[in-house]
Amino acid sequence: MAQKYERDATATRARILEAAAAEFASFGIAGARVDRIAENAGANKAMIYRYFGSKDELFDAVFSTHVVAFVDAVQFEVADLPAYAGRLFDSYQDLPRTLRLTHWYQLERPDGPPLQAIVDSNDRKLHAIADAQAAGILTSRYSPTELLVLVRGIAMSWNNLTPELDLQSSEPRQKRRALVVDAVRRLMLEPVEGGWSPARTAASFPMPDLI
């Protein structure tokens, strides 16, 4: 009986998290309604509050579950950040709901306490970048934080277009992806007399076909 209850509770939590993810992605934290989440999850409001405590805590659970899983699911190769950016681009294109959750988080939680799961995920990548810079694999023109911010910003740039600019952008997805990869590849270049030179292993990054 106890095992059946645990299975039912786990399934109910999963349904609540899925319904809440859709609700928060569409309406943000302030605009989300717990009764609508409960209805779509086939649960009730009391159950949501018992499992998660409050609407804010429910959002934290959704954000941690979806965004950390999203970020960690994209293979991070510190020696090939252009390829990583390409995979990020694909994920943003294929899973726009996760990006919308991130935007709501930035808008409504600018000064909130950091979520430890997100901090840990970022720390692993920042330490890997710092080690690669120390080994001469990556450019040292940027700090690890600056480099990670630039790579992610470029990867999500096509998802952040205003509707008006998007109407004027006729590039197919394949070309947009190639532009992202090429832009990050250029970040890896080091200034030298008379031009630019790749870092020690960056020569393995091929120039993508932009046609």
- Which tens digits make up the pLDDT trace of 10-39? 899 999 999 999 999 999 999 999 999 999
* Average pLDDT value for residue range 190-207: 51
Residues 96 and 166 in one domain: yes
Question: Is 60 a domain residue?
Answer: no
The domain that contains 84 carries what CATH number? Answer: 1.10.357.10
Given a cut of 50, whether residue 176 has pLDDT beyond it is: yes
58: amino acid identity, one letter: L
Residues 81 and 177 in one domain: yes
H/E element, 96: helix 96-108
User: Can you give the pLDDT at residue 160?
Assistant: 87
Residues 97 and 48 in one domain: no
Task: Pick 66 or 62 by higher pLDDT.
Answer: 62
Residue 190 CA neighbour count, 13 Å, CB half: 15
User: Can you give the pLDDT at residue 211?
Assistant: 35
Residues 80 and 149 in one domain: yes
Mean pLDDT of the chain: 86
User: Can you give the pLDDT at residue 182?
Assistant: 97
Task: Pick 166 or 21 by higher pLDDT.
Answer: 21
User: Can you give the pLDDT at residue 116?
Assistant: 83
Given a cut of 90, whether residue 9 has pLDDT beyond it is: no
Question: Is 62 a domain residue?
Answer: no
User: Can you give the pLDDT at residue 67?
Assistant: 77
134: amino acid identity, one letter: A
Q: What is the pLDDT of residues 74-131, one digit of tens each?
A: 889 999 999 999 999 999 999 888 889 988 998 998 887 887 878 888 999 999 999 9
The CA-atom distances, in angstroms, between 24 and each of 12, 62, 102, 109, 186 are: 18, 9, 10, 13, 36
H/E element, 124: helix 116-134
Kindly report the number of other CB atoms within 10 A of residue 193's CB atom. Answer: 5
Question: Is 68 a domain residue?
Answer: no
Given a cut of 70, whether residue 210 has pLDDT beyond it is: no
Give the domain extent around 44: 1-54
Counted domains in the chain: 2
Residues 43 and 120 in one domain: no
Residues 158 and 103 in one domain: yes
Residues 107 and 190 in one domain: yes
pTM for this one? 0.78
Residues 180 and 81 in one domain: yes
Residues 80 and 167 in one domain: yes
